[in-house]
Amino acid sequence: LAEMENFYEIVAETLLNKFQGNYKEIAIIARTGKDLSEIATVLSDNKISYILKSKSNIFIHRVNDAIFKLLKYLAYNSFFSLLEFLRSDLIMIDSELLKDVLKNEKDILLYLNGENEAFIMEDDRINQMLSTIKKIKIKYNESDGKIESFIIDIFSAFEVLKKYNGNTDIKNYYRFLEI
């Protein structure tokens, strides 16, 4: 796995050094969509523009995947979807913090549902995250589930465009908003 990640970095470095922005005659072919996705991540991180053609859907893109998981939590009140969101590339809580979240599932759900205002965890980052999710959940509930009224708030609250600002990331962000 680490060997492949190193290979992807070498590909990106070669593209940057050898082709210096003139990529129109370059094609990278991979056996699986997962490999293509990993290559796309490295290219995006290195600010190399690309067109990703695969049979996967838009929700698999790293910009949208985390947001989709948050939307699943909001729509179905699924704690598992909330955990997936917290572990996503966007939020990236570590294993220890995940254990704390799991231990406090009941209190967290009560807090997010407005039934326990005094709940606080030891980690300030997760407290801030839960507070943000709670505010978004309130907007979601007020919108009767119409995500277009608060989706931009989600992208803003979690600074999606600051974290994922490659050309392809931004294109996928806008394609997600169009859906």
DSSP notation for 143-156: TTT-GGGTHHHHHH
The two structure tokens encoding residue 36 = 């293509």
pLDDT of amino acid 171: 73
Per residue in 68-120, pLDDT tens? 889 899 988 999 999 999 998 888 898 899 999 999 999 999 999 999 888 88
Q: Which of 27-36, 155-164, 167-176 has the lowest mean pLDDT?
A: 167-176
Cα separation, 66 vs 120, in Å, equals: 24
Cα separation, 165 vs 132, in Å, equals: 22
DSSP structure class, residue 56: S
Q: Which of 45-54, 87-96, 131-140 has the lowest mean pLDDT?
A: 45-54
Confidence of residue 127 (pLDDT cuts 50, 70, 90): very high
> How far from chain centre, in Å, is Cα 140?
19
pLDDT of amino acid 62: 64
Phi-psi region of 35 (alpha: psi -120 to 50; beta: other; left: phi over 0): alpha
The two structure tokens encoding residue 38 = 């990993």
- Comparing 98 with 28, the larger pLDDT belongs to 98
Q: Which of 60-64, 105-109, 138-142, 151-155 has the lowest mean pLDDT?
A: 60-64
Count of CB atoms within 10 A of residue 103's CB? 11
Pick from 163, 165, 93, 96: which is nearest to 133 by CA? 93
